[in-house]
Amino acid sequence: MKRFCAAAMVRGDFARLLKVWFLTIMAFLAFDRGFLRFALGAVSESVFAHRPLIAYAVSDNDDIIGELQTYEVQKGETLLDIGRRFGLTAQEISDANHGLDWWLPPPGKTIILPTQWILPPGPREGLVLNIPEMRLYYFPGRVVVDRKKGGVKHISYIADHIVYTFPVGLGRYDWRTPIGSFRVRGKTVNPTWVAPLDIYKEHLERDPDAERVIPGGDPENPLGHYRIELTLPEYAIHGTNKPWGVGMEVSHGCIRLYPEDIERLFYKVKIGTPGRFVYYPVKFGWKGDALYVEVHRDIYGRYPALWQFALNEAKRMGISDKIDYKKLEQAIAEKTGVPTYVMPGEEPASTSAAR
C-alpha cells in the first residue's frame, strides 16, 4: 500500500509538472498567432475583423456603459480567442470569473463576459486610457481652432455623447506607460519601426540577428499597420503583429490595440484630439440612484494600500456616507473588474435585471 501511495504521489507530481510545462510553453507561444491557431483550433482572423464596433451612449446622469453578458465555452477555445471575439482580453475574462484558466477553460461552462464599465473620472473628451484597467475610451467630437492674426488663439474640443472602448496592451513594469495629458499630433499608415538604441540592445541580447529598422507593412513590424502619434515624447497608440499581447504588460510603454481596433480608431480620431493617461485601479460610478465600484489590479504598484485609495476616492467624490464598507472590502479583495453594487441593502431591480 505504501509503495502504491508513493507511486500515486509521483504520478500526481508528474502530472502537475507536465501541466506547468505545457502552460509555460503555451505562454511563450501565445505571441505566435499562427502556431496558436494551429495548436488550439482558434477561430479565423476574419471573425475578429468583422466584430461589430459599438458606440455607447454617454449620459450626464450615469457613469456606467454596456451590459454584462454570458457565454458558454466551446471545446478547444481559450480565453484569448473568446476575449478578442468580444472586444475583451483573456485577463479581463479571467478576473471576472474568479481566476478562470486562460488556456483550459472547461467546455460547456457558462462564464461572465465583463462588457460593462464605469467611465474613468475626469473630462469625457478625446482619448482616455485607464492604465490599471488596460482599457482605452474614445469620446469622439470636433476639434475647434479659434485663430487670431499671427497664430493660434485657442484649441477646444466639443465632445459628442457617445464613447467607444478598446482593450490595450501596455508597457511592462520596467517600461511603464506614463500618466499624462497629450494631443494627437499625427497618424501614419504602415509606419516604419526604428528601435530606440536601448530597446535595440535589449533585442540583440535575445537575438543577435535582430533588425533595428523594420519597414512598414512587414509582417514582423511590431507597430502593425496603423500608428497614432501623440505629443507625449516617444509614445504612441498603434497596432501589433502579436495580437495576443493585448491585455498584457509587454511593450516598452506604447499602447497596443488589436489590429481590427486600431484600424477603426485610426480613421475616427482626428489630429488635435486631446487625451489623458490616468491611473484609477478603483472607480466609483452611478447608474441612476445606484452606486457601483469597479476594482482592478494595481499593475504598477502605485497604491499598495488599495483600500486607502478607495476611501480617498470616495471622500473626493462625496459619497463616503453612501457605501456599505463590507461590500467595498469584498470588491477590493476580489478585483473582478466588474461594476459591483456597494450601497446598503439589495441591488435595485432596475439595474440588477440586466446583470
8-state DSSP, 243: G
Describe the chain by its helix, strand, coil percentages, rounded to 5. 30, 30, 40
Q: Which of 225, 252, 254, 296 is catalytic?
A: 254
Rounded (10°) CA dihedral 274, 277, 280, 285 = 20
CA geometry: angle 69, 70, 74, nearest 5 deg: 135
Cα 105 to Cα 73: distance, rounded to the nearest angstrom = 7
Query: Known catalytic residue: 203?
Result: no
8-state DSSP, 338: S
Q: Which of 225, 238, 252, 296 is catalytic?
A: 238
Phi–psi pair at 335, nearest 5 degrees: 50, 55
Q: Which three cell numbers stand for residue 163?
A: 464613447
Query: Known catalytic residue: 238?
Result: yes
For the chain, the first-to-last Cα distance in angstroms comes to 52
Cα 119 to Cα 138: distance, rounded to the nearest angstrom = 11
Catalytic site positions = 238, 254
